[in-house]
A = this chain, B = another copy of it.
Amino acid sequence: MTALEQMGQRAKEASRALNSLQEKKNDGLLAIAKALRERMAEILAHNETDLQNGKANGMTDSLMDRLRLTPERITGMAHGVEQIAGMTDPVGEVLEGKRLPNGLRIEKVRVPLGVIGIIYEARPNVTADAAALCLKAGNTVILRGGKEAFHSNQCITTVMREAIESVGLPSDCIQLVQDTSRESARELMGLTAYLDVLIPRGGAGLIRSVVENSRVPVIQTGAGNCHVYVDAYADVDMAANIIFNAKTQRPSVCNAIETILVHKDIAERALPVIAAKLKEKNVELRGCEKTRAILPEAKPATEDDWATEYLDYILAVKVVDSIEEAMEHIARYSTGHSECIVTENYTNANRFTEQVDCAAVYVNASTRFTDGGAFGMGAEIGISTQKLHARGPMGLAQLTSTKFIVRGSGQIRA
């Protein structure tokens, strides 16, 4: 047995034990939060080791910033865990139930998924956040973080394991893969005997690699090539505000927009207003020919621009002849994350919401709302862009499965 298989076996055993210790989950979460605050100095010291290694290896400033923990960030992590403790327990919820004509009583009940694997990059805050969400939903977790954050992750994991053990939960509810090589990631993706699901959290490259290589079922999160379509019947100022917010409020995230599609009948009126607003943040525009006839300052857009998730202050702009053309463009280039129409036309609003195939479709609101917190679901583990199991922001309920419980009095099948 490899080290990872042993870890898988321990996670599975802890998962069975956790099944009859559900009432201790919140004690465990509160103990984690307390320990994160109390052992802050220790965590910061280990993080310092990672930061120094990063510096020595020429890590970029933005990666260093993701890696860095501060007292405020650790307090934020602890606070996040406390919030998760305060959320309603999804396990045990009876989703439906009935009495069958033969007297059988049947219930569909929420149960934990079992063992969840999380593969992520150099963000140590994910360590506490993901572990807490998995535990709250009754699952055990195998964490596999990036090698750049190994000392931080190791320390946070130790703190969490000791905390849950102190309240009587198995420490193996939370485990960290010790080997941060590519091989360990690959082995994790094949651990079908122990893992019920694998969730990658990170950039597009990580997610693609997991989706393509994993034999364990994956929940795909993240990639967002999102659009705003400005209909012929749009309120121009509203369109400009929504586009400005969806592009510039936080360009690096998946629910930010990358392309706008503008109906030809409104383009001459709307494009200058939109461009003026985007100029406040120096957004670079890349337009089709019709766009450039109206906005000569836009660079010419190529085929690549329609397919690119810039995650930056760049926006592609296309003038379309009809709502059909807009929806066809979206069907072709969208990653199925968040799509928006700005319109005052009742029929067009309905057509767009019905026909555009994505996790979240908006009428007259910024795509930036696609997020567990904004949707009122509490903490989220990611935003699923797949259609099976979970679609859109994934909260605690999406970290569970279901089970039918059937109670009888000797019924047999005729």
Contact = CB atoms under 8 A, between A and B. Distances in A.
Given A245-B413, A412-B241, A404 B386 contact: no
Contacts of A35: none
A208 B22 CA distance: 33
B369 A411 contact: yes
Given A245-B412, A413-B374, A369 B406 contact: yes
B369 A104 contact: yes
A243 to B, nearest CB: 10
Contacts of A392: 108, 402-404
A407 B365 contact: yes
B217 A365 contact: no
Contacts of A388: 113, 196-197, 217, 219, 388-389, 401
Given A410-B235, A410-B365, A413-B245, A353 B215 contact: no
A359 B391 contact: no
Given A387-B196, A387-B401, A363 B407 contact: yes
A201 interface: no
Interface string A17-32: 0011000000000000
A246 B246 CA distance: 58
Nearest to A388: B389
Contacts of A363: 405-408
A114 interface: yes
Nearest to A353: B405
Contacts of A370: 404
A362 interface: yes
A242 B374 CA distance: 51
A363 B331 CA distance: 48
Contacts of A357: 16, 19, 111, 114, 403
A331 B15 CA distance: 12
Most B-side CB within 10 Å, residue of A106, A197, A238, A408:
A408
B245 A360 contact: no
A98 interface: yes
Nearest to A402: B391
Contacts of A196: 387-388
Contacts of A58: none
Contact of A20 (B108, B355, B404, B407): B355
A407 to B, nearest CB: 5
A368 B215 contact: no
Contacts of A355: 16, 19-20
Interface of A: 16, 19-20, 98, 100, 104, 106, 108, 111, 113-114, 196-197, 212, 215, 217, 219, 235, 238, 241-242, 244-246, 249, 331, 349, 351, 353-355, 357-366, 368-370, 374-376, 386-389, 391-392, 401-413
Given A19-B354, A360-B404, 7 more contacts: A16-B331, A16-B357, A20-B354, A20-B355, A244-B412, A368-B412, A391-B402
20 contacts: A16-B331, A98-B376, A104-B369, A113-B387, A114-B387, A196-B387, A197-B388, A212-B215, A360-B404, A360-B405, A360-B406, A361-B403, A361-B405, A362-B407, A365-B408, A366-B411, A388-B388, A388-B389, A388-B401, A392-B402
